[in-house]
Amino acid sequence: MKYVIGVDLGTSAVKILLVNQQGQVVREVSKTYPLIQEKAGYSEQNPEDWVDQTVAGLSDLLKYGDCRPEDIEGLSFSGQMHGLVLLDENNQVLRNAILWNDTRTTRECREIDEKVGRERLLQIAKNLALEGFTLPKILWVKRNEPEVYRKVKTFVLPKDYVRYRLTGQLHMEYSDAAGTLLLDITEKKWSEEICRLLDIPVELCPPLVESHEEVGTITPEIAKATGLSTKTRVFAGGADNACGAIGAGILQDGKSMVSIGTSGVFLSYEADGNKNFGGKVHYFNHGAPDAYYTMGVTLAAGYSLSWFKDAFAQKAGFDELLADVARVPIGSNGLLFTPYIVGERTPHADANIRGSFIGMDSSHQMKHFVRAVLEGITFSLNESVEIFREHGKRIDTIVSIGGGAKNEAWLQMQADIFNARIVKLSSEQGPGMGAAMLAAYGCGWFDSLQECSDRFLRVDTIYDPIEENVEKYRGLFHLYREIYPATAALNKALMKYRD
Give residue 255's Cα distance to chain centre: 17
Residue of 243, 275, 267, 262 whose CA lies nearest to 173? 243
Q: What contacts 375, CB < 8 A, 6 or more positions away?
A: 330, 331, 332, 336, 337, 413, 417, 476
User: Where are the strands (E) in 226-367, listed by range?
Assistant: 233-235, 238-239, 256-260, 264-270, 282-285, 292-298, 336-338, 356-358
The Cα–Cα gap between 142 and 433 comes to 37
Helix ranges (H only) for 391-458 are 408-418, 430-442, 449-456
The Cα–Cα gap between 184 and 492 comes to 34
Q: What angle do CA 422, 424, 430 make, to 5 degrees?
A: 115
The Cα–Cα gap between 430 and 451 comes to 18
Contact 210, 236 (CB under 8 A): yes
- The answer to whether residue 319 is catalytic is no
Residue of 240, 272, 290, 361 with catalytic role: 240
Residue of 443, 407, 458, 464 whose CA lies nearest to 6? 443
The Cα–Cα gap between 178 and 384 comes to 20
Burial class for 225, CB neighbours closer than 10 Å (0-12, 13-18, 19+): middle
Q: 98 - beta bridge partners? A: 44, 84
The Cα–Cα gap between 264 and 318 comes to 18
The Cα–Cα gap between 164 and 167 comes to 5
232 phi-psi bin (left φ>0, alpha ψ -120 to 50, beta other): beta
- Catalytic residue positions? 240
